Amino acid sequence: MNMCSTKFDSLIAEFPYEADAVSRLANLVDVEKSTHIREYTPARMYHLIQPSNFRVLIQMLTSATELGLLKKVVRVMSPTSKLAGIAEFDSALEIPLTLFDVRTGLDVEVTTDQIRLIYQILPDRECSHA
């Protein structure tokens, strides 16, 4: 049995009433084995995984992140382009009050509407690190 399967088994043990949702998450991670990073917002993950509620989704994603199955990124978006990030952090607590935006050449004040929570599925990730 590979380490990824073992980690998903532990998620099913942690969320036995959400076994179908954990299975959908496992399929998503398995399908996403590719050469580039795949990114999903919590809302998109909710749609794809279909847990019983949003709170359970966050609990599942937190556990999957702690197991090394996903990576959580807090991204600050450029105020001039909603598609471009200025910087990424492991936690929202790490975000400074201002950041330099290379697109404008200016320091910008970070506002809450610029902050995005992203879950990443990394290419060639090692499921064995926790």
Domain that holds residue 44: 3-68
End residue of a domain, out of 32, 53, 68: 68
Collect all residues with Cβ–Cβ distance below 8 Å to 55 and sequence separation of at least 6.
none
Q: pLDDT per residue over 66-100, tens digit each?
A: 988 899 999 999 888 767 889 999 999 999 999 99
Mean pLDDT of 16-28: 91
Band the pLDDT of 128: cuts 50, 70, 90: very low
**Is position 13 within any domain?**
yes
Phi, psi of 25 (to 5 degrees): -65, -45
pTM of the model: 0.82
Same-domain pairing of 28 and 61: yes
What Cα–Cα distance (Å) separates residue 111 from each residue in 35, 80, 93? Answer: 33, 13, 13
Q: Based on the domain organization, do 44 and 16 belong to the same domain?
A: yes
Q: At CB < 8 A and 24+ separation, what contacts does 79-85 make? A: 79/108, 79/111, 79/114, 80/104, 85/116
- CB-based contact 58:120 (threshold 8 Å): no
Mark whether 91 and 41 lie in a shared domain: no
- List pLDDT tens digits, range 26-56: 888 876 566 677 899 999 999 999 999 999 9
Q: Are residues 9 and 33 in the same domain?
A: yes
